[in-house]
């Protein structure tokens, strides 16, 4: 009988301990944060400097394009005036020159787009690397299970209290 009581007592104790452990594990919450990474990058001091540099480069490249477009428009005006009085051979040469200048404009446009994109990548890469380290440090120090980027549109709902964007911007600007 004593042995049966011990087994029953041990079973009750183990069940109670198991229930308590399950209760603790069930009550442990996953901590999730949210950040708008695009807004965070754009709002940092380094992000603002990068944006200024990109805008300056884009403006310069646009001026180059505008100059080419103006030259093509002048060529077009001259063609309209001269084509009726030109020989067939001269017309063909002028049209060929017009097509060539048009293709050069397209090539310049594509080259400019690529240059701006390359510069953007070069400017943002160190910012994103540093910001990633700051986000990871914050997640580890404050026990976040994950931090999601809401700027990509994949987060359908979040509690505004879980938005870490302003904190990340502040930590980034304060870091060296």
Per-residue H/E/C for 91-137: HHHHHHHHHHHHHHHHHHHHHHHHHHHHHHHHHHHHHHHHHHHHHHH
pLDDT of amino acid 4 = 53
pTM, rounded to two decimals: 0.70
Mean local confidence (pLDDT), 133-146: 95
Q: What is the per-residue pLDDT across 113-132, written as a single tens digit (0 to 9) for each? A: 999 999 999 999 999 999 99
Q: What is the per-residue pLDDT across 15-36, written as a single tens digit (0 to 9) for each? A: 443 444 444 444 468 899 999 9
Dihedrals φ, ψ of 146, to 5°? -160, 155
How many beta carbons lie within 10 A of that of residue 164, not counting itself?
Answer: 20
CATH number for the region 31-174 comes to 3.30.910
Residue 2 has pLDDT above 90, yes or no: no
Q: What is the per-residue pLDDT across 78-112, written as a single tens digit (0 to 9) for each? A: 888 888 888 889 888 988 998 999 999 999 999 99
Question: 93: which residues sit within 8 A by CB, 6+ positions away?
Answer: none
Could you tell me the end-to-end alpha-carbon distance of the chain, in angstroms, rounded to an integer? 72
Residue 46 has pLDDT above 70, yes or no: yes
């Amino acid at each position: 009988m004593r042995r049966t009581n011990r087994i029953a007592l041990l079973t009750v104790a183990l069940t109670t301990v198991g229930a308590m452990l399950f209760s603790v594990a069930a009550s442990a919450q996953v901590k999730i944060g949210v950040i708008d990474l695009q807004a965070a990058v754009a709002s940092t001091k380094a992000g603002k400097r990068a944006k200024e540099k990109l805008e300056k480069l884009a403006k310069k490249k646009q001026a180059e394009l505008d100059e080419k477009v103006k030259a093509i428009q002048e060529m077009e005006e001259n063609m309209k005036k001269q084509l009726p009085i030109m020989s067939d051979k001269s017309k063909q040469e002028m049209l060929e020159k017009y097509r060539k200048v048009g293709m050069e404009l397209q090539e310049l446009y594509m080259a400019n787009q690529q240059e701006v994109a390359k510069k953007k990548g070069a400017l943002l890469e160190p910012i994103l690397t540093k910001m990633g380290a700051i986000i990871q440090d914050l997640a580890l120090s404050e026990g976040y299970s994950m931090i999601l980027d809401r700027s990509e549109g994949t987060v359908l709902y979040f509690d505004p209290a879980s938005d870490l964007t302003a904190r990340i911007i502040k930590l980034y600007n304060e870091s060296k």
